């Protein structure tokens, strides 16, 4: 049986997705890879130090472990992409092309690649943004995600590569930290609340963004990858939605449990990125095609974060 490779396995999504895939398929069948790891979070199992821009090495790893399915997560997020345009484009696009070309030439079974709400720009419908709203992003990250979506659709149409994708909103979890994203404030805010410190938010208090709890994000990827091929009608990337809230709303949900938690709003360059993105997303295609349904709302997420984060921080 072919095995699974996760790139970017030590990242925020990668560490949790790798752990879940190992639970389902067994540690030995899921190969973790990254340029920054290994981290303890991904647990026991094969690990390869891998730069996805190095196609030869990527092919060697695929061959060595008889890889048939790739979860290709290695990428640079929105805020960091603005600071390093060249690397963001190379990693986000050349890395994806390497994976798609190897999936084609080696006749791999399936590829998962995350896109983002960042594909939308200021001219997209702000609320309940439809699947096919205009995609004119104003960020480097968004440009790379729009291009990546079209590469996925092209490799599927032209070569039959079964590549599947989700437009993730901001992801929030307690097990690992994100890095370099615009939505990351919604993770940091819990860390400050648990530490009993004041939080300085780099977005305006009313800047609403689409978000998702990590359990839902992992489930969405696995459900999409398990769906029968004939159900997948969208080969660019599916809108997926769970929660939408502003910094003030998440602060209020924390204050309901930690009264006195103090937040200051000091917007920086990331506000412009956030302002160009939707407030909320319409994900009816994902619901209709493969039964997508999130489990966590803001209240449930805050309860789970505040219950689990202190233990994780103690263990660090």
39 vs 42: CA distance, rounded Å: 6
Q: Does 37 bind ligand SER (CB under 6 A)?
A: no
Q: Segment near ligand SER (CB under 6 A), from 53-61, 94-102, 175-183, 192-200?
A: 175-183
Q: Does 185 bind ligand SER (CB under 6 A)?
A: no
Q: Segment near ligand SER (CB under 6 A), from 49-57, 94-102, 114-122, 257-265?
A: 114-122
Cβ-Cβ contacts under 8 Å for 240 (sequence gap 6 or more): 166, 167, 168, 169, 212, 220, 281, 283, 286, 292
| The two structure tokens encoding residue 25 | 């398929």
| The two structure tokens encoding residue 41 | 């979070």
CB of 115 to ligand SER, least distance (A): 8
Please say which residue, 48 or 184, places its beta carbon nearer to ligand SER: 184
| The two structure tokens encoding residue 205 | 């208090």
Q: Does 116 bind ligand SER (CB under 6 A)?
A: yes
Beta pairing, strands 110-116 & 163-168: parallel
Tell me which residue has its CB nearest to ligand SER.
Answer: 181
Among candidate residues 47, 65, 71, 141, the one labeled active-site is: 141
CB of 251 to ligand SER, least distance (A): 19
DSSP labels, 155-205: HHHHH---EEEEEE-EEE-SSS---S-STTHHHHHHHHHHHT--EEESS-T
Q: Using only C-alpha atoms, what is the Rg of the chain?
A: 19
Whether 141 is catalytic: yes
Are the C-beta atoms of residues 38 and 47 closer than 8 Å to each other?
Answer: yes
The interface with ligand SER within residues 56-85 (CB under 6 A) comprises 77-78
Please say which residue, 3 or 78, places its beta carbon nearer to ligand SER: 78
Beta pairing, strands 209-213 & 170-172: parallel
Q: Does 183 bind ligand SER (CB under 6 A)?
A: yes
CB of 111 to ligand SER, least distance (A): 19
CB of 96 to ligand SER, least distance (A): 15
Residues that bind ligand SER (CB under 6 A): 77-78, 116-118, 141, 168, 170, 181-183
Active-site residues, by number, are 141
């Amino acid at each position: 049986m072919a095995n699974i490779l996760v790139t970017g396995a030590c990242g925020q999504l990668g560490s949790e997705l790798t752990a879940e895939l190992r639970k389902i398929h067994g540690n030995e069948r899921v190969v973790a890879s990254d340029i920054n790891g290994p981290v303890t979070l991904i647990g026991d199992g094969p690990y390869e130090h891998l730069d996805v821009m190095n196609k030869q090495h990527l092919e060697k790893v695929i061959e060595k472990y008889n890889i048939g399915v790739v979860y290709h997560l290695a990428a640079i997020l929105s805020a960091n992409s603005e600071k390093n345009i060249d690397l963001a484009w190379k990693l986000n696009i050349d890395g994806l092309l390497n994976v798609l070309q190897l999936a084609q030439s080696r006749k791999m079974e399936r590829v998962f690649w995350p896109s983002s709400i960042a594909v939308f720009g200021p001219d997209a419908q702000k609320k309940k943004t439809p699947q096919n709203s205009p995609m004119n992003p104003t960020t480097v990250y968004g440009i790379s995600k729009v291009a990546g979506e079209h590469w996925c659709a092209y490799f599927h149409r032209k070569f039959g590569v079964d590549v599947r994708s989700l437009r993730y909103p901001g992801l929030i979890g307690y097990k690992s930290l994100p890095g370099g994203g615009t939505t990351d404030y919604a993770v940091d805010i819990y860390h400050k609340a648990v530490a009993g410190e004041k939080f300085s938010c780099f977005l305006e208090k009313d800047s609403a963004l689409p978000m998702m709890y990590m359990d839902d994000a992992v489930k969405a990827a696995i459900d999409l990858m398990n769906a029968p091929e004939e159900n997948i009608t969208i080969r660019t990337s599916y809108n997926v939605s769970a929660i939408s809230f502003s910094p003030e709303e998440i602060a209020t949900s924390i204050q309901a449990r930690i009264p006195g938690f103090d937040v200051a709003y000091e917007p920086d360059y990331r506000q412009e990125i956030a302002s160009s993105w939707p407030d909320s997303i319409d994900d009816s295609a994902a619901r209709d095609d493969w039964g997508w349904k999130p489990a966590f709302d803001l209240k449930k997420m805050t309860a789970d974060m505040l219950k689990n984060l202190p233990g994780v921080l103690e263990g660090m």
